[in-house]
Amino acid sequence: MKRNYDASLTVKMYLLAAALFAIYGGRVCPMLETLTIKEVALHVSITFALLLFVRHFLLSNSQWVQTLQFAKLDTLAFFIASVPLAAYYNLGADFPLDSNLKVLFGMTLFGFFTGTILQLNAKNAQFDVLNQTSQATQLRGERQSLVRQMIALVVLLLSTLTLMLLLIALKDIFWLEHNPQLVLDGTGKISVIKEFLYIAAILGGYAITIMLLWTKLMKRVLLSQECSLLEIAKGDINTRLPVFENNELGSMAVLTNQMLDVLQSSQDEVKTTRDVAITSLAALAESRDNETGAHIIRTQEYVKALACHMAQQTKFEQQLTPNYIDLLYKSAPLHDVGKVGIPDAVLLKPGKLTEEEFEIMKQHPTIGASALSIAEQHLGSSSFLQVAKEISLSHHEKWNGSGYPNGLQGEQIPLSGRLMALADVYDALISKRVYKPAFSHEKAKAIIIEGKGQHFDPQVVDAFLATEAQFVSIASRYQDMANHNDNQAKSDRIQFA
């Protein structure tokens, strides 16, 4: 496979250069009287056919092609091909020195334009490949200044246009001085104007094409980096800026990526500390309750399953972003952290609570939210603390307004609390407690359906019914873990008794 080589475009660009060069030599150049259009076309066809043969079969997989140095390759190839053509014209058609120089300079110029267009096209194609796969994030090859490249290209184009028109002007003046009759009948003037317009059109066309390709490439590189930065701004810290070339843009992208690596490392450390704190607080709350530690894991998995399903709906897709769902997942274990403030006589009572005891139990959402508010005051507000406080305070609210502690109704209840409410009740229903046996999934499902529009948000219940297979799987997986841990604990107690 010949990487970076576009055979079709290469043939087209070579044929275009051959046609433009032949038209100029056979029809436009006013001083070519020793050659006919057929002869010029034949000479140019043979030269370019040999040139294209060498380019396609011998140089298409060369190091210059692999490193995208088409401008150098084609400029040199066209110059080498122009030497025998100019020598033939000098010996066989008695061309003067200035005409031979025009052949050499003209073909070399066509080579530069052709190679530059092929090079920019190959870079655009390579950019597509990087977008379809994984974009490089490290610098490759030798450093090339983007600013210098642009300045050099503009200067070269302007210099070439100026030099070419100057050579033509000098040649035409010399030609008209030796052919005064052409000045008198006006044909010389027309020929000179026609030549100037033809050369200007060719040089302008090539220059515009090159600038458009260059602009397209720079725009795509900048847009790609902008899109990556937007993803980072949305919270995707794993995104890295693509590094396309070893230039100023590539260097800035690499430095930005290094900064993101450091930031991600620090963020991972903070997240680890946060997760340890969450687990410790949640475990502390659960250690004073009759529930097992697996309750924490199951409820956060339930909440995540519900949130991921509802995120597919247009109504919730703006709120339930991947980042917010992760916050829900991390915050869910703190939903009952307020239980640490409930007296053991109430919290651990095996029988039914009295009205007074239940009023005390109903304080745990407020206790938990207050504790998290104190953390906010000391540590500063964060999206995590806000979501955790929201869940703690609202997961016992009911859709019809009969819940506690604030009697919120309908969508007054935060979505996080509505999700946690169903997850918490479902897990309580399927789990064994000192005051009740474990219910089956079907019985728990029936109770939740009965509470649709009363206890639970109808849309959350619909999400539960759509994901009930995940609920069953989560309950089975983590219930087995809890049983294993309980059995292991019993075994340890017997061993060390």
If asked whether residues 438 and 299 sit together in one domain, one would say yes
- Mean pLDDT across 203-209: 89
Model confidence at 420, pLDDT cuts 50, 70, 90, reads very high
Model confidence at 33, pLDDT cuts 50, 70, 90, reads low
If asked whether residues 479 and 340 sit together in one domain, one would say yes
If asked whether residues 454 and 337 sit together in one domain, one would say yes
Model confidence at 493, pLDDT cuts 50, 70, 90, reads very low
Of the two residues 489 and 188, the one the predictor is more confident about is 188
pLDDT (0 to 100) of residue 480: 47
Distance between CA atoms of 388 and 394, rounded to whole angstroms?
10
Give the E-state strand segments of 205-312 in sequence order: none
Best-predicted range by mean pLDDT (107-111, 459-463, 487-491): 459-463
Does 60 have pLDDT greater than 90? no
Query: Can you read off the two tokens belonging to residue 367?
Result: 């206790």
Q: Which of 233, 259, 276 is the last residue of a domain?
A: 233
Does 37 have pLDDT greater than 60? yes
* Cα three-residue angle 405-408-412, rounded to 5 degrees: 140
Best-predicted range by mean pLDDT (99-103, 205-209, 267-271, 372-376): 205-209
Distance between CA atoms of 455 and 453, rounded to whole angstroms?
6
If asked whether residues 198 and 295 sit together in one domain, one would say no
Question: Domain for residue 325, yes or no?
Answer: yes
Q: Which of 207, 233, 259 is the last residue of a domain?
A: 233
Ranking 111-115, 289-293, 376-380 by mean pLDDT, the lowest is 289-293
Question: Domain for residue 238, yes or no?
Answer: no
In 58-135, alpha helices (H): 63-66, 70-92, 97-132
Centroid of chain to Cα 228: 5
If asked whether residues 345 and 226 sit together in one domain, one would say no
Does 15 have pLDDT greater than 50? yes
If asked whether residues 69 and 154 sit together in one domain, one would say yes
Distance between CA atoms of 308 and 492, rounded to whole angstroms?
40
Question: Domain for residue 27, yes or no?
Answer: yes
- What b-and-e string marks burial along 324-352, b requiring 16 or more CB atoms within 10 Å of the CB? bbebbbbbbbbbbbbbbbbeeebbebeee
Ranking 247-251, 255-259, 473-477 by mean pLDDT, the lowest is 247-251
Name 456's bridge partners.
452
Q: Which domain holds residue 175?
A: 7-233
Distance between CA atoms of 68 and 78, rounded to whole angstroms?
17
List C-alpha distances in Å: 97 to 28, 33, 76, 82, 134: 19, 16, 21, 14, 55
What residues have CB less than 8 Å from 490, skipping those under 6 apart?
none
Name 436's bridge partners.
433
Query: Can you read off the two tokens belonging to residue 90?
Result: 């000098």
If asked whether residues 225 and 306 sit together in one domain, one would say no
pLDDT (0 to 100) of residue 133: 58
Ranking 38-47, 158-167, 456-465 by mean pLDDT, the lowest is 158-167
- Mean pLDDT across 27-34: 62
Distance between CA atoms of 175 and 30, rounded to whole angstroms?
8
Cβ atoms of 175 and 31 within 8 Å: the answer is yes
pLDDT (0 to 100) of residue 341: 87
Cβ atoms of 23 and 16 within 8 Å: the answer is no
Model confidence at 283, pLDDT cuts 50, 70, 90, reads low
Residues recorded for the chain? 497
- Mean pLDDT across 63-75: 88
How do residues 91-102 score in pLDDT, each as one tens digit?
877 777 767 787
Q: Which of 203, 218, 233 is the last residue of a domain?
A: 233
Model confidence at 484, pLDDT cuts 50, 70, 90, reads very low
- Mean pLDDT across 402-407: 94
Percent of the chain with pLDDT over 70: 80
Model confidence at 141, pLDDT cuts 50, 70, 90, reads low
Query: Can you read off the two tokens belonging to residue 488?
Result: 């292991």
Among 138, 125, 372, CA closest to 246: 138
If asked whether residues 292 and 228 sit together in one domain, one would say no
Residue 109 has phi, psi (to 5 degrees) of -65, -45
Does 492 have pLDDT greater than 90? no
Model confidence at 486, pLDDT cuts 50, 70, 90, reads very low
If asked whether residues 225 and 304 sit together in one domain, one would say no
CATH number at residue 375: 1.10.3210.10
- Mean pLDDT across 131-154: 68
Report the domain count for the chain: 2
Among 175, 201, 197, 200, CA closest to 188: 175
- Mean pLDDT across 149-173: 72
pLDDT (0 to 100) of residue 490: 33
Handedness of CA 212, 218, 224, 227 (dihedral sign): negative
Does 414 have pLDDT greater than 60? yes
Cβ atoms of 18 and 48 within 8 Å: the answer is yes
Mean of the per-residue pLDDT values of the chain: 82
Ranking 62-66, 191-195, 414-418, 465-469 by mean pLDDT, the lowest is 191-195
Read out DSSP for 194-229? HHHHHHHHHHHHHHHHHHHHHHHHHHHHHHHHHHHH
- Mean pLDDT across 360-373: 90
